[in-house]
């Protein structure tokens, strides 16, 4: 082993051990109630605030994914179908992974830009990544 390799090993042994970066971002679980043939998502405003999107945008996505009309009321988001909380949580997680969390740095600091050709452009404010996603 050369003197250089020994010095390099010694230098690396003195470096602190870095743990993986901890992100305090968590997708909120759906707080929903089934009332007859409708499902009420009570915490849509909390989800919209965390995602930095409007409740209407999230509702538009859920309309397409659940194939059921959605409306926003004072109590929350009303889905005109019976949807189990596990299924709703899965759809919301998929929405966050596709339209909120950056694919490069995995941070939720993104915003949406609409292009002239009808695409949605996700722009990360943390790392500057830009990528297109399917319109909802």
Average pLDDT estimate for 14-38 = 77
pLDDT at 17 over 80: no
pLDDT at 45 over 60: yes
Average pLDDT estimate for 10-16 = 82
Domain 25-100: state its class: alpha beta
Q: How far apart are CA 21 and CA 77, in angstroms?
A: 34
Instruction: For residue 33, give both structure tokens.
Output: 């109630």
Please give the full DSSP string across 85-108, using - where no structure is assigned. HHHHHHHHHHHIIIIIS-TTT--S
pLDDT at 53 over 90: yes
Could you tell me the pLDDT band of residue 25, with boundaries at 50, 70 and 90? confident
Q: What is the pLDDT of residue 131?
A: 92
pLDDT at 19 over 50: no
Domain ranges of the chain: 25-100, 104-136
pLDDT in tens, 97-135: 999 999 988 889 899 998 888 788 999 988 889 999 888
pLDDT at 136 over 80: no
Give every CB contact of residue 115 below 8 A, 6+ residues apart in sequence.
121, 132
Residue 33 near residue 41, CB atoms below 8 Å: no
Q: What is the pLDDT of residue 80?
A: 95
pLDDT in tens, 58-105: 999 999 999 999 999 999 999 999 999 999 999 999 999 999 999 988
Give every CB contact of residue 21 below 8 A, 6+ residues apart in sequence.
none
């Amino acid at each position: 082993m050369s003197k250089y390799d020994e010095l390099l090993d010694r230098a690396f042994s003195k470096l602190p051990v870095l743990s993986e970066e901890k992100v305090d971002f968590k997708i909120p679980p759906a707080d929903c109630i089934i009332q007859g043939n409708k499902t009420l998502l009570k915490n849509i405003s909390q989800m919209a605030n965390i995602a930095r999107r409007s409740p209407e945008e999230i509702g538009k996505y859920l309309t397409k994914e659940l194939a059921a009309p959605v409306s926003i009321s004072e109590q929350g988001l009303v889905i005109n179908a019976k949807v189990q909380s596990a299924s709703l949580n899965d759809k919301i997680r998929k929405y966050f992974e596709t339209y909120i969390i950056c694919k490069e740095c995995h941070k939720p600091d993104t915003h949406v830009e609409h292009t002239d050709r009808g695409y949605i452009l996700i722009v990360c404010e943390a790392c500057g990544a830009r990528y297109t996603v399917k319109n909802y």
